A = this chain, B = another copy of it.
Amino acid sequence: MVKAPNAPRRRESSRLAVLTATRELCEENGYGRLTIEAIAARAGVSKMTIYRWWPSKGAVVLDLIDEAAAVTADPPDTGDLAADLHTQLSEVINLLTPQPTSPVTGVITEAQYDPDLARALRERLIEPRIAKFKDRLRRAQEQGQLPVDADFDVALDLLFGPIYHRLALHLGMPDPDYLDTLITHVLRALNPPPHRLDGAATA
């Protein structure tokens, strides 16, 4: 998927066997214990076959995510912004947990010290989803659920930030009720009251 040694002669069965073995081993032993040699053994495939088509372990898992996460590609749009945000955030939490065996968390971690993987992660997974998320906000805006000058970058940071904050520092993921509380706060932040100064309640 990343580099092309030659060909459409690539054997699809091997590719699938690799991705399947990767998924299974990740579930069984966690991303941390995942090795290319173990993937090759489980897939009944030569190590060379993996190295020929993927530049790193992370790239394999990224492909795995790509195929599996097509289902979660588009953010929901029922017309109820708050409810749709709740749905989408829950899905992201599901993708990132359980932390030790989540391929997505694994790739995010691995990308910390692999610039190539970081770029691929951002370009292939993150940025397209950010774009679609902002599209969803834009539609909400058109329906009057968000003010015309709402800052979508801030919305992105405030809504998804807590999840990654808790992921990074092992603080436990938000439960559905707390997710509601978060969304309520963020929507409040994006809807400035008509005649009031920022920041201070009484000062």
A contact set with B: CB distance below 8 Å: 30-32, 81-82, 99-100, 105, 108-109, 111-114, 118-119, 121-122, 126, 143-147, 151, 153-154, 156-158, 160-171, 174, 178, 181-182, 184-193, 196, 198-203
Contacts and interface: CB of A to CB of B under 8 A. Distances in A.
A149 to B, nearest CB: 11
Given A100-B113, A188-B199, A191-B199, A108 B168 contact: yes
A161 B165 contact: yes
Contacts of A162: 157-158, 161
B165 A181 contact: no
B170 A165 contact: no
13 contacts: A32-B112, A32-B114, A108-B168, A108-B169, A118-B170, A144-B201, A145-B200, A157-B161, A158-B158, A160-B161, A163-B165, A185-B189, A188-B189
B113 A30 contact: yes
A113 B203 contact: no
Given A82-B199, A191-B199, 9 more contacts: A30-B113, A109-B109, A122-B170, A144-B201, A146-B201, A157-B161, A158-B182, A160-B165, A164-B168
Contacts of A167: 164, 168
Given A112-B99, A113-B30, A151 B199 contact: no
Nearest to A188: B189
Contacts of A100: 113
Ranked nearest first, the 4 interchain pairs of A and B with the lowest CB-CB distance are A161-B161, A32-B113, A157-B162, A189-B189
Contacts of A143: 203
A26 to B, nearest CB: 12
Nearest to A192: B188
A81 B201 CA distance: 12
A184 B111 CA distance: 32
Contacts of A169: 108, 121-122, 126, 164
